[in-house]
Amino acid sequence: MSSLARGSLLLVVALLAMAPPRTAAAHDTGYPHRHVYGPGATGPQQPGLDIDRREVYLGGGLVGNIIVSQVDTPTSGGFISHGGGAQLFLGVRLARMFAVEFAYAQTIHNPVEDPAGLTVSYLALHALTADLKIIFPNRTNVRPYAQVGAGYYIMTKEYRDAVSGGGIQAGAGVDIWLNPWWSLGGRVLYHGVKFADVFGGGHSSNPYLSTASLDVNIQVHF
């Protein structure tokens, strides 16, 4: 080998030896103390607060039901007063901004007590509803929404003498996510119900009942 060739070879070897080593990255393979090294490896991903995913959720809460107006009532003073109760609901998140929700709520009204303080008579208002929810995503863990739907409403007197009617509901609320599985919520809804017939003093009528419900709830998300 000529002296020129030997000199060129020594120069190449010297340059390679002086080059800084390439840092090898590692990613976890799922086994303790075992990693795969290489220039294309990436570190483990940290899970975020994924609250805009498709999901199913269950919830329950307390409800206050305020009577706004009563039209065409069987008595001049109205047939129902403010009340309160509870609700259960099941929802399906179809997309980032849309969900459908099915709910059952029951509120107790017009309680009558005997001299001993025991409730002997009351009205129970039952609501079976289905709603479309429009959710407004943002950069926080708070999700405001609007909802609108229809329902079947049943009124009973001591769970007897049932009367029923169809109705609509609409309103808005907010959910505060504590983590990817639990959230707290609250909402205000207007309900308009047309009953087919209402008992009262031997008279019957077809009243239109307007109420405003306020609820606080807790939800679990799957």
Hey, CA dihedral for 191, 87, 92, 140, is it positive or negative?
A: positive
Q: 146 with 169: CB under 8 angstroms?
A: no
pLDDT at 4 over 50: no
Residue range(s) occupied by CATH 2.40.160.20 in the chain: 55-221
Q: 222 with 56: CB under 8 angstroms?
A: yes
Percent of the chain with pLDDT over 70: 71
Tell me the pLDDT band of 100, cut-offs 50, 70 and 90: very high
pLDDT at 16 over 60: no
Q: Which CATH number fits domain 55-221: 2.30.29.30, 3.10.520.10, 2.40.160.20, 3.40.50.720?
A: 2.40.160.20
- Indicate the pTM of the whole model: 0.72
